[in-house]
Chains A and B, each alone.
Chain A
Amino acid sequence: MRKLLSILLVLAMMLALVPAALADGDLEPITLTVFRGDPGDQPYPDNKIYKKIEEEFGVTFEFEFLAGDLDEKLTLMTQDLDDLPDLFDGGNSAEKLIDAGALINLLDYVNPEDTPNLWAHIEPQKNRIITKDEVTGEDVMYIIPNYGLPEGPQIALSVGGPAFFIQKQVLAWGGYPQITTLDEYFDLIEKFLEANPTNADGTPYIGFDILCEDWRRFCLINPVQHLMGHPNDGEVLIDVNSDDYPTETFINRAYAKPYYKKLNEEFQKGIISADTFVMNYDQYIAQLSTGIVLGMFDQAWDFGNATNALLTDKKYENTYVALGLVYDEDDVAGLLPEGWTIEEHYLNGSLPNLDRGFGISVSCECPERIIAMWERMMDEDWQLLFNWGVEGEDYSIVDGRLIMTEEQYANTQDIEWQRHNKARAFFESSPKRQGWILEGDLAGNCWEPGNQNEIVFGLMNDYDKEFLAAYGYSKFADFVNPPIELAPYGEAWQIDKAPIEKDYNDFLNIQDSQLPGVIMANPDDFDAKWDAFVEAINPSCEVYSNFMHEEVLKLVDAYYGK
């Protein structure tokens, strides 16, 4: 009996020692609470990527996604800084987390010695990413950008952002012409409409749509800067060639008038209909999806759903090409700012997604462990696992090339499949490698399947291939000039307008309520309505311009390390 007891005792002691022994080699398992500032699907428990994370790092996640209003939610969450999620992604309002003191300074952990991978990742853009705290003056980095730090030469296969879009069939009907000005663009649409008032089903075509619902008003407002030859700075025009970076809102300037004058003419001709100013986003997508809208100004991601619908119906000729229209010098003669020359630049250099992605909250108990995990995850094996999946299952390597079959690629688009097989909720907001794989056996491949040559061109439909061939182009980005170098201040739309938000709201409201009226004005009233609009919006434009100018100069100084 005694013997048995002592054996039991020894056994019990041994068992008690096991966790201690484990702790030396492996990490103690932890659960990280994660907040994502956008909607998302919970991964399934059998998710293979999260299983691998748990195996190697001992980390499991508890995700919270956003369902309601982001700003409201963040305001409430930051009322109690002791009870924050460990990994905190503030979505499009992450500045609010930083301002509220909810995030730790990652520079306490990220440096060239301890985290060479992460450092190498941010190093090329560190003057944009690392900023100075306004009060203490110390260097700070609260968030490692989740996107926009690609390696190797910039990849620009198509226009993913703003452009004047036109249906491929219109260009094909016109004999594949080069369209570079507003006049050419609308002339072609008018002629096409005259020859083809309706589609094959008898539904009338719509010449040009202008979406102006809520924040999507950019379709109405933003074109002027691009017509002036500039990439997207939001609502201001900045002269990058001057050391002082003069910054002004463009909507109230003389050089904006010719565009709206043109729209007014097209409205009178019936190319634009009044309904366009009252439609909501769903109606807009519905119109585009049926293939009856010949042209519009928009950003490509904004109508991806409509493109998908057209592709599913195999209406390839109704899908769109992005054109980089600019003002004809004659149109704006005498109206341009001094020394301004117009040269088309719709594509910009790669833009780091500043202040977007995970930060680590002040209530997180293990920041060093998260940093160490990210550091390890920047290695090739983990990046391939996140981007491409498991070799043999989700992709294969043939002669040093990363390949996906059509079915494998279709899987990656399937949300249900992703919940079993992708670590989206975690990876989307984490630092990641993009662009080209530059080293090792796989050099020359792309980090992301969506950029890989074999996938982009291997799966392209025949209509598009022939269409490109007719123009002698190899990709759709060839319709516009190649990207220019990113301006030192980045893209000005990223600037947080919180300090002047009330004036900014006035600025938006006046545009919303008056610009459609200007476009629909009787031609005799056009000038009067335009002048009234400019007068109404001038005060808020002035505040906005001055504010943006100051902010741009701050960013430029920071970029040059001043």
Chain B
Amino acid sequence: MTNSIEMNKRPRRRNDVVFPIVNTCILILLMFVTLYPVINTLAYSFNDGTDALKGGISLWPRVFSLQSYRSILQDPAVYQAAWISASKTVLITLLNLFWTGMLAYALARREYVLRKLITTMLVLTMYINAGLIPNYLLITKTLHLSKSYWVYIIPTMFSCFNMIVIRTYIVGLPDALVESARIDGAGDIRVYWQIIFPLCTPVLATVALFVAVGSWNSWFDTHLYCASKKNLLTLQYLLKMKLATTQASANAGKATAEALANSNSTKTTPVTIRCAITVISTIPILVVYPFLQKYFVTGMALGSVKG
């Protein structure tokens, strides 16, 4: 955490020398174990599709080819879809943080009279599900949200799990912080935004990551409600479709060796397309991640705020 322990000049124990070495070794080993599937996926994505069918590629492509990426990225629809995905992800993340944070604060206040009722009702939603059809009818027939951009936003503005995570964090904060503010005469809304919200940065960053990743990776809402609208397709949906078409067309053609050699599309196969899709859809998350990670790895020095 902080290096305060270092400043304490006490004799070093053997433990202090051995542990960091062992720890580093364990973590490096773990990194290797978890990095392997990632590198393997990368290697496949840069491999020739037909060749990749044979399997056996581990850390480096056997026959290098950009064909899988080309076949995905040459489609102009991908860029429109990426824009839809990115914009809805940002919007949903902001809305979620806005509502969920406030709600978590309200439900963390022990004196709030509606706390039990609201918390119980919210928690139950994690375990009960009405089923697909009633939900579908609510969105389409009652709310008329289908075939519109808002179907991506409105039904996903809130998640109970994230609310609980934030609430737990807020409960863990020293009570004195709130109390001192209350004595100053600040209302709950001000206490939340001025004191609690900044203190919650690590957990809000965590929740932002959960929400953003969930939204970025979702394709089912497009499949159910917007698949007939070319301009509203999301990136994940389009990539899923790409994979599905590669799978479907894989066995369709009666081709000769010469036709195969001349044709571009037969060089993409489900094996490589799937990997290229994974890489393409993960890169934006990788780019954004360090900005969020900064908050929840380092955290805030609580002591300094208190002091």
Q: Which residues of A contact B (CB under 8 A)?
A: 33, 35, 38-42, 62, 64-68, 72-73, 75-76, 79-80, 83, 85, 282-283, 285-286, 289-290, 301-306, 308-309, 311-314, 316, 406-407, 409-411, 413-417, 450, 459-461
User: Which of B46-54, B104-112, B115-123 contacts its partner?
Assistant: B46-54
Q: CA separation between A42 and B231, bound complex, in Å?
A: 12
Residue from the set B222, B242, B257 with the largest chain A CB neighbour count within 10 Å: B257
Residue from the set A65, A76, A286, A303 with the largest chain B CB neighbour count within 10 Å: A76
Q: Shortest Cβ distance from A103 into chain B, in angstroms?
A: 18
Do B257 and A461 touch across chains, with their CB atoms under 8 A apart?
A: yes
B302: Cβ under 8 A from any A Cβ? no
Do B245 and A460 touch across chains, with their CB atoms under 8 A apart?
A: no
Q: Shortest Cβ distance from A395 into chain B, in angstroms?
A: 14
Do B230 and A415 touch across chains, with their CB atoms under 8 A apart?
A: no
Do A62 and B228 touch across chains, with their CB atoms under 8 A apart?
A: yes
Residues in B neighbouring A285, C-beta threshold 8 A = 53
B24: Cβ under 8 A from any A Cβ? no
Do A33 and B228 touch across chains, with their CB atoms under 8 A apart?
A: yes
User: Which of B6-14, B27-35, B129-137, B168-176 contacts its partner?
Assistant: B129-137
Q: CA separation between A303 and B251, bound complex, in Å?
A: 7
Residue in A42, A79, A314, A414 whose CB lies within 8 Å of B263: A414
Residue in A39, A68, A79, A303 whose CB lies within 8 Å of B133: A79
B306: Cβ under 8 A from any A Cβ? no
Q: CA separation between A314 and B74, bound complex, in Å?
A: 29
* 17 other A-B residue contacts (CB within 8 Å) besides A309-B54, A459-B258: A33-B228, A40-B248, A41-B241, A65-B241, A67-B223, A67-B227, A76-B132, A79-B140, A282-B270, A289-B54, A304-B251, A305-B251, A306-B53, A406-B262, A409-B256, A414-B264, A415-B71
Q: Shortest Cβ distance from A46 into chain B, in angstroms?
A: 11
Q: Shortest Cβ distance from A304 into chain B, in angstroms?
A: 4
Residues in A neighbouring B251, C-beta threshold 8 A = 301-305
Residue in B136, B247, B250, B262 whose CB lies within 8 Å of A76: B136
Do B245 and A286 touch across chains, with their CB atoms under 8 A apart?
A: no
Residue from the set A308, A415, A459 with the largest chain B CB neighbour count within 10 Å: A308
Residues in A neighbouring B230, C-beta threshold 8 A = 42, 62
Do B137 and A311 touch across chains, with their CB atoms under 8 A apart?
A: no
Q: Which residues of B contact A (CB under 8 A)?
A: 50-51, 53-56, 71, 74-75, 77, 132-133, 136-137, 140-141, 219-220, 222-224, 227-228, 230, 237, 240-242, 244-245, 247-266, 269-271
Do A283 and B55 touch across chains, with their CB atoms under 8 A apart?
A: yes
Do A80 and B260 touch across chains, with their CB atoms under 8 A apart?
A: no
Do B264 and A64 touch across chains, with their CB atoms under 8 A apart?
A: no
Do A311 and B260 touch across chains, with their CB atoms under 8 A apart?
A: yes
Q: CA separation between A25 and B230, bound complex, in Å?
A: 32
Do B265 and A308 touch across chains, with their CB atoms under 8 A apart?
A: no
Query: Nearest 5 pairs between A and B by C-beta?
Result: A39-B244, A304-B251, A410-B262, A415-B265, A286-B55
Do A312 and B132 touch across chains, with their CB atoms under 8 A apart?
A: no
Q: CA separation between A305 and B255, bound complex, in Å?
A: 10
Residues in B neighbouring A311, C-beta threshold 8 A = 255-257, 260
Do B271 and A282 touch across chains, with their CB atoms under 8 A apart?
A: yes
Residues in B neighbouring A67, C-beta threshold 8 A = 219, 222-223, 227, 237, 240-241, 244
Residues in B neighbouring A79, C-beta threshold 8 A = 133, 136-137, 140-141
Do A68 and B223 touch across chains, with their CB atoms under 8 A apart?
A: yes
Residues in B neighbouring A40, C-beta threshold 8 A = 241, 245, 248
Q: CA separation between A417 and B262, bound complex, in Å?
A: 12
Do A289 and B136 touch across chains, with their CB atoms under 8 A apart?
A: no
Q: Shortest Cβ distance from B226 into chain A, in angstroms?
A: 9
Q: CA separation between A135 and B132, bound complex, in Å?
A: 30
Residue from the set B51, B132, B220, B244 with the largest chain A CB neighbour count within 10 Å: B244
Residue from the set B75, B254, B264 with the largest chain A CB neighbour count within 10 Å: B254
Q: CA separation between A64 and B54, bound complex, in Å?
A: 33
Residue from the set A285, A413, A460 with the largest chain B CB neighbour count within 10 Å: A413
Residues in A neighbouring B264, C-beta threshold 8 A = 414, 416
Residues in A neighbouring B55, C-beta threshold 8 A = 283, 286, 290
Q: CA separation between A35 and B77, bound complex, in Å?
A: 19
Do B262 and A309 touch across chains, with their CB atoms under 8 A apart?
A: no
B247 and chain A: residue at smallest CB distance: A39
Q: CA separation between A321 and B255, bound complex, in Å?
A: 16
Do A41 and B259 touch across chains, with their CB atoms under 8 A apart?
A: no
Do A415 and B245 touch across chains, with their CB atoms under 8 A apart?
A: yes
Q: CA separation between A174 and B260, bound complex, in Å?
A: 30
Residues in A neighbouring B219, C-beta threshold 8 A = 67-68
Knowing A39-B245, A459-B258, A460-B256 are in contact, say whether A413-B265 is a contact too (CB < 8 A).
yes
